[in-house]
């Protein structure tokens, strides 16, 4: 791990990935991209970690997007498919993820926030797909049609203008809005709610949401039944009802 991305475990089961380049508005320079690839892999491969929070240093920017100076120097045309660390696309992350957006999330910054399963935003956060303003592209925005109404999506992608955290909450892009000083704690509280649940059920729940998004009703139902099979047959599936009957907290084993 480089110092471009910090990896911490503030409490059991929860990892915090912090983009640590506030002087460059936490742009997705090469060292940040490499750091995020390594951090996501580290999270995914650690069985003791159940939820990850992605945030950034400073109070101005979550991520201002790609490094335009680097792109200009490289004469970058179409970005390679694996250029940016995108959970669920260019890097496998099966466990839940939360974006804690502490400032502007523009272009690639919107991309990596969008790729997380949930989003908590500071009241000072701003979101924008700014590619039209610099002649670049945003094909990665296509999945937003499952998150936003079509005309809202159209306005955002055609104007490149930013929206506030409150507006992002109103249109369904953000789960919660927090005071800047409470952003991480709000994100940790949400992570705790998830991490306290049966691990296999959480994994199957995330998979079910993706199946339902990508498939039609009948196909999604069939695929979801298969996705939940492991959870149903696990020891945890017996532990949950037993703990309820005995009026105690369940002890999850993830097996």
The C-alpha angle 32, 97, 113, rounded to 5 degrees, equals: 55
Please tell us whether the domain made up of 5-195 is placed in CATH 3.30.420.40.
no
**Which pair of tokens denotes residue 145?**
């049609």
Contact 107, 128 (CB under 8 A): yes
Instruction: Tell me the C-alpha distance between 247 and 255, whole Å.
Output: 22
How do residues 149-186 score in pLDDT, each as one tens digit?
999 999 999 999 999 999 999 999 999 999 999 999 99
pTM of the model: 0.91
Bridge partners, 8 (sequence order) = 16
How far is Cα 200 from Cα 254, in angstroms, rounded to an integer? 6
pLDDT digit string (tens) for 200-221? Answer: 999 999 999 999 988 888 888 8
Query: Within its chain, how far is the Cα of 138 from the centroid?
Result: 18
Element spanning 121, H or E: strand 118-122
CB 142 within 8 A of CB 121: no
pLDDT at 75 over 80: no
What ranges do the domains of the chain cover?
5-195, 199-245
pLDDT (tens digit per residue) in 96-113: 999 999 999 999 999 999
Location of structure tokens 């490289």: 74
The predicted structure's pLDDT at residue 74: 57
Chain centroid to Cα 164, Å, comes to 18
């Amino acid at each position: 791990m480089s110092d471009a991305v910090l990896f911490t475990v503030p409490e059991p089961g929860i990892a915090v990935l912090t983009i640590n380049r506030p002087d460059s508005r936490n742009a997705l320079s090469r060292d940040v991209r490499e750091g995020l690839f390594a951090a996501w892999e580290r999270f995914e491969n650690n069985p003791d970690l159940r939820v990850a929070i992605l945030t950034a240093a400073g109070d101005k920017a979550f991520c201002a997007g790609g490094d335009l100076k680097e792109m200009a120097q490289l004469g970058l045309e179409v970005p390679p498919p694996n250029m940016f660390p995108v959970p669920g696309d260019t890097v496998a992350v099966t466990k839940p993820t939360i974006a804690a957006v502490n400032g502007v999330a523009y272009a690639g910054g919107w991309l990596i926030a969008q790729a997380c399963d949930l989003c908590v935003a500071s009241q000072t956060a701003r979101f924008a797909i700014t590619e039209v303003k610099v002649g670049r592209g945003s094909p990665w925005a296509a999945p937003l049609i499952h998150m936003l109404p079509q005309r809202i999506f159209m306005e955002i992608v055609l104007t490149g203008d930013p929206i506030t955290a409150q507006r992002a909450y109103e249109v369904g892009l953000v789960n919660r809005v927090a005071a800047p000083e409470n952003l991480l704690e709000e994100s940790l509280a949400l992570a705790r709610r998830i991490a306290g649940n049966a691990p296999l059920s959480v994994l199957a729940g995330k998979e079910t949401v993706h199946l339902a998004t990508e498939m039609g009703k009948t196909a999604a139902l069939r695929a979801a039944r298969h996705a939940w099979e492991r959870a149903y047959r696990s020891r945890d599936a017996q532990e949950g009802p037993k703990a309820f009957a005995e009026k105690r907290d369940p002890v999850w084993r993830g097996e």
